Every structure is written in C-alpha cells, then in structure tokens.
Amino acid sequence: MFVVRRNGLHAWRKACPHWANTSMAWRKDAFLNPDGTRIVCSAHGAQFDIATGVCTLGPCIGETLVRVSLIYLGDGSLAVSRNELETST
C-alpha cells in the first residue's frame, strides 16, 4: 500500500487496475506525476485522481484503485484496519 498526503491522507493498494498485481511505483516511494497532482502507474502511465482513485487518463479510464482504510490512533500514528489485512490475504 501507499499513502498520499494531499488535502488529507489517501491510502491505496499498490496495484494497478489495468493489470492485476502490477506494482505502480516509478522508484521506491514514487507514485505521483512531476507536479504532484495525480497518482501515475509506472507500467503504462495511467493517471489516477489522488482523492478518489479513479483513473482519468490511460488504459483503464473509469476504473479505480482499491482504497485502504486507515485508523487514526490517539498518539498521532496510523494503523491499517484489521478488515483490510484480512481481505488482502
């Protein structure tokens, strides 16, 4: 998974809807276009809205990334929902 901080935190599974289980990062921890306004898949260049995960340009237009639910803990840290962990195995 990866998390983007733009007008809040947006967590997504690190898998492109174009081809199942394709890793998306350009390099370690690099998921955004140069101006930081879109998530971009490194394989074929699909671009995704950061807040909704909807593909707006590329080979999977209209498909969406899979959101990961985060839990905000009282000490300022984050955790992944147990349901997310159970459905990803």
Least Å distance between CB 9 and ligand FES? 22
Least Å distance between CB 40 and ligand FES? 9
Closest to ligand FES by CB, 58 vs 70, is 58
Least Å distance between CB 19 and ligand FES? 4
The alpha carbon torsion through 87, 55, 43, 9 (nearest 10 deg) reads -60
- Cα–Cα distances (Å) from 35 to 38, 44, 66, in that order, read 8, 18, 23
Cross-strand bridge partners of residue 57? 47
**Residues contributing to the site for ligand FES (CB under 6 A):** 16, 18-19, 22, 41, 43-44, 46, 58-59
